[in-house]
Amino acid sequence: MSSLNLDDFTDLIERPDGGVRRDAEERRERLVVPPGALGRLDELGEWLAAAQSSVPVRPIEQPRVVLFAGDHGIAELGVSARPAGSASELVRAVLAGESAVSVLARRLGVPVRVVDMALDCDPDSLPGDVVRHRVRRGSGRIDVEDALSIEEAEAAFRAGMAVADEEADAGTDLVVLGDLSVGGTTAASTLIAALCGTDASVVTGRGGRHIDDLAWMRKCAAVRDALRRARPVLGDQLQLLATVGGADLAAITGFLLQSAVRHTPVILDGVVSAACALVAQRVAFRAPDWWLAGQASGEPAQAKALDRMAIEPLLDHGVSVGEGAGALLALPLVQAAAALAAELPEADSKAE
């Protein structure tokens, strides 16, 4: 039995300041650039002002990429283009600066944090600050067994909350959220299918490395079987994460909810973060107001989840590599919106 009361988040999470947003909208009407001429950048600037409770909006000065890592037992069925248990290779590539997200983060001057929740490797093979939150070595095969015990799910959820608190306390003013996993999109697709009441074939995509038709059929069957196990526990979000999620997904869900409590805005990446956001929305309906979707990854489950939360992706460049790379590409857009909202002069002041 879990001691974690998820209902508390409903009371703890408030929406971004509506009064401040109205002030930002009124200020936007007075700027030298006509209203509507900046398109969605206007909406982003107003959203940031509300999240920060500040007009004019403050620049984003301490963004950070946070990546939760884990292996999933379901990968043993050949549902991924990567070998089962190989997520540690993704982590090492990020730490060595040799992954897509590392290159982009280096170019943008954004630090990257990796949090191991359930990698299938010796913890001594990775830095201590990466592995200190690990819950277990790999998550269970969700088509035939639970991903986690309820105690492990709570520990992972609380670890995600702790990471959110650490980032907020360190002054992080916007998080680019992603995952480093093998088999994670299968777990994520199962969660989304369960929460949206759809069949496996509707949500099953081809993953970051575009699996072939045979692997897609195996993945679809895995989601179908896991979905049968998910439906009986839909009313208990923590049990749902334990049954068909994984330690990394439970941690991301806790991270998203606690970030909303701490008023830290988050840019979501692909299907894994979208699935966790959908679970978090079930916990606290106001929480999605603190999140942006950085990009459309092409995964049908991600599109389904974002549509259910009424979140429109900022970019659609077909980036499916994962690792938070697609969401990181949206960061300059958000920073540009903040700069324009803050620095454009008002028409009256320019006339003077």
Q: What is the pLDDT of residue 266?
A: 98
- For residues 254 and 276, give the distance between their C-alpha atoms in angstroms, rounded to a whole number: 9
- For residues 225 and 142, give the distance between their C-alpha atoms in angstroms, rounded to a whole number: 8
Q: Which residues pair with 176 in a beta bridge?
A: 65, 267
pLDDT beyond 80 at 114? yes
Say whether domain 8-58+339-351 belongs to CATH 2.40.50.140.
no
Q: Are 271 and 299 in contact (CB under 8 A)?
A: yes
Q: What is the pLDDT of residue 205?
A: 83
Q: What are the structure tokens assigned to 22, written together?
A: 């109205």
Sign of the torsion angle spanned by Cα atoms 13, 18, 24, 29: positive
Q: What is the pLDDT of residue 209?
A: 61
Phi/psi of residue 97, nearest 5 degrees: 75, 25
Q: Matching CATH topology for 8-58+339-351 and 63-333? A: no
- For residues 118 and 77, give the distance between their C-alpha atoms in angstroms, rounded to a whole number: 18
Q: Which of 41, 16, 15 shows the shortest CA–CA distance to 28?
A: 41
Q: What is the pLDDT of residue 349?
A: 54
- For residues 161 and 145, give the distance between their C-alpha atoms in angstroms, rounded to a whole number: 26
Give helix then strand counts, H and E, for the chain: 16, 5
b/e sequence 9-44, b meaning 16+ C-beta within 10 Å? beeebeebbeebbebbbebbeebeeeeeebeebbeb
Q: What is the pLDDT of residue 3?
A: 79
Residue 242's pLDDT band (cuts 50, 70, 90):
very high
Q: Is 323 a catalytic residue?
A: yes
214 Cβ partners below 8 Å, 6+ apart?
A: none
Q: What is the pLDDT of residue 351?
A: 47
pLDDT beyond 70 at 133? yes
Q: At which residue do the structure tokens 């909202």 appear? A: 341
Provide the residue count of the chain: 352
Q: At which residue do the structure tokens 């950070």 appear? A: 64
Given the residues 323, 343, 346, 352, the one annotated as active site? 323
Instruction: Convert the pLDDT of each residue in 13-67 to its tens digit.
Output: 999 999 999 999 999 999 999 988 999 999 999 999 999 999 999 999 999 999 9
Residue 74's pLDDT band (cuts 50, 70, 90):
very high
Instruction: Convert the pLDDT of each residue in 256-305 to its tens digit.
Output: 999 999 999 999 999 999 999 999 999 999 999 999 999 998 899 999 99
Determine the residue type at 279.
V
As a whole number, mean pLDDT of residues 72-87 equals: 92
Domain boundaries in the chain?
A: 8-58+339-351, 63-333
- Average pLDDT, whole number, for the chain? 94
310 burial (CB, 10 Å; 0-12 / 13-18 / 19+) is: exposed
- For residues 38 and 97, give the distance between their C-alpha atoms in angstroms, rounded to a whole number: 35
Helix, strand and coil content of the chain, in percent to the nearest 5, comes to 55, 10, 35
Instruction: Convert the pLDDT of each residue in 243-260 to its tens digit.
Output: 999 999 999 999 999 999
Instruction: Convert the pLDDT of each residue in 154-197 to its tens digit.
Output: 999 999 999 999 999 999 999 999 999 999 999 999 999 999 99
pLDDT beyond 70 at 96? yes
As a whole number, mean pLDDT of residues 323-331 equals: 94
Determine the residue type at 102.
S
Determine the topology of domain 63-333 in CATH. Answer: Rossmann fold (3.40.50)
DSSP per residue, 33-81:
SPTTTTTHHHHHHHHHHHHHT-SSPPP---EEEEEEEEEBGGGGGS-SS
Higher pLDDT, 304 or 318: 304
Q: What is the pLDDT of residue 206?
A: 78
